[in-house]
Amino acid sequence: MPDFTKGAAWMDGQIIPVADAKISVLDWGLTHSDITYDVVPVWNGSFFRLPDYLARFRQSLAALQLTIPQTPEEITTILHRMVARSGLRQSYVSMVASRGVPMVAGSRDPRDCANHFYAWCVPYVHIAKPELAERGVHLWISKSSRRIPEDSVNPRAKNYHWGDFTTGLLEAKQAGFDNTALLDHDGNVTEGPGFNIFALKGNTIVTSDHGVLHGITRRTMIELCEARGLAVETRPLPLAELMEADEVFMSSSGGGAIPVTRVDDRVFSNDSPGPVARSLRADYFALLERGDLSQPITY
């Protein structure tokens, strides 16, 4: 009996245990990070905002000129069947399209590669463990790594170019911090590994509009902020403005709104999560529980 306890994958038409899912060492997804992906959460046995994640995935494919045979409807079916087979009711579900292996051996022409799609799911990933979100994340602004410029690698096409984040993360861990956020070359706060960043001052919330992935959770946060009567500004966020904020939080499909209580040596709201970040976190999970934007899976 295949063991799906650690998750499942869909590859070449088969659903297999995630540990058995492999790609070739010649795949440009691996050798050139020439790959795009998207990650949709499953909560209480339902996909959250799946059509929105699929739409972003299609945009990423177009941006990178990747072509796969699966239609959005087929991908929907694949994801439903795969998660059902895994039995996971809370899951991190990844859909991936890679440039693939050159069909002409040794070719350096991306058009010679056989693009391909695969998917996998594992138990739900909290990018900050719930206890950490409860305490508040300590965020380190990387000193040696800037976010890769958007005219070099398009951050809106979700990608595996994580060298800048990994450098920042190693710096953060060495400095005793939980996570990192990167600046752009103009000193504006962009994003971190797997999350967008928001700053609240008075009644106004600011999050960057450029140099970042347009997170689906970012979108949910904007909607939840507006529903709470907050003014939302999507524009560059200078570091000095972040440091002057009343509250800071991160947003991710892996945990919703995640309060930040420290950025470098600055301590926010008496070193505990601020009331707005707390409320937005609760709003997000209430929305997941209500299922307004969810698609149930038939297990």
Q: Is the CB of residue 206 less than 8 Å from the CB of residue 237?
A: yes
For the bound state, the minimum distance from the C-beta of residue 136 to ligand PLP, rounded and expressed in Å, comes to 19
Tell me whether residue 91 is exposed, middle or buried, using C-beta atoms within 10 angstroms of its C-beta: 0 to 12, 13 to 18, 19 or more.
buried
Closest to ligand PLP by CB, 86 vs 217, is 217
Only segment of 27-35, 69-77, 192-200, 257-265 that touches ligand PLP (CB under 6 A): 192-200
- Name which position in 29, 100, 211, 215 contacts ligand PLP (CB under 6 A): 215
- Name which position in 75, 95, 128, 216 contacts ligand PLP (CB under 6 A): 216
- Name which position in 213, 224, 237, 287 contacts ligand PLP (CB under 6 A): 213
Each as own residue / partner, the long-range contacts of residues 53-60 (CB below 8 Å, 24 or more positions apart, any chain) are 53/95, 53/216, 54/95, 56/158, 56/214, 56/216, 57/95, 57/97, 57/158, 59/156, 59/157, 60/36, 60/97, 60/156, 60/157, 60/158, 60/159
Q: Is the CB of residue 224 less than 8 Å from the CB of residue 216?
A: no
* Beta strands 247-252 and 256-263, pairing class: antiparallel
Q: Does 251 bind ligand PLP (CB under 6 A)?
A: yes
288 Ramachandran zone, left/alpha/beta (phi>0; psi -120 to 50)? alpha
Q: Does 218 bind ligand PLP (CB under 6 A)?
A: yes
Closest to ligand PLP by CB, 4 vs 48, is 48
For the bound state, the minimum distance from the C-beta of residue 191 to ligand PLP, rounded and expressed in Å, comes to 4
What tokens were used for 276? 């707005």
140-159 binders of ligand PLP (CB under 6 A): 158
Q: Does 194 bind ligand PLP (CB under 6 A)?
A: yes
Only segment of 18-26, 104-112, 209-217, 289-297 that touches ligand PLP (CB under 6 A): 209-217
Across 157-277, the runs of DSSP E, i.e. the strands, are: 179-181, 191-192, 195-201, 204-207, 231-234, 247-252, 256-263, 266-267
For the bound state, the minimum distance from the C-beta of residue 26 to ligand PLP, rounded and expressed in Å, comes to 26
- Name which position in 4, 57, 195, 268 contacts ligand PLP (CB under 6 A): 195
For the bound state, the minimum distance from the C-beta of residue 62 to ligand PLP, rounded and expressed in Å, comes to 18
Contact residues for ligand PLP, defined by CB under 6 A: 39, 158, 191, 194-196, 213, 215-218, 251-253
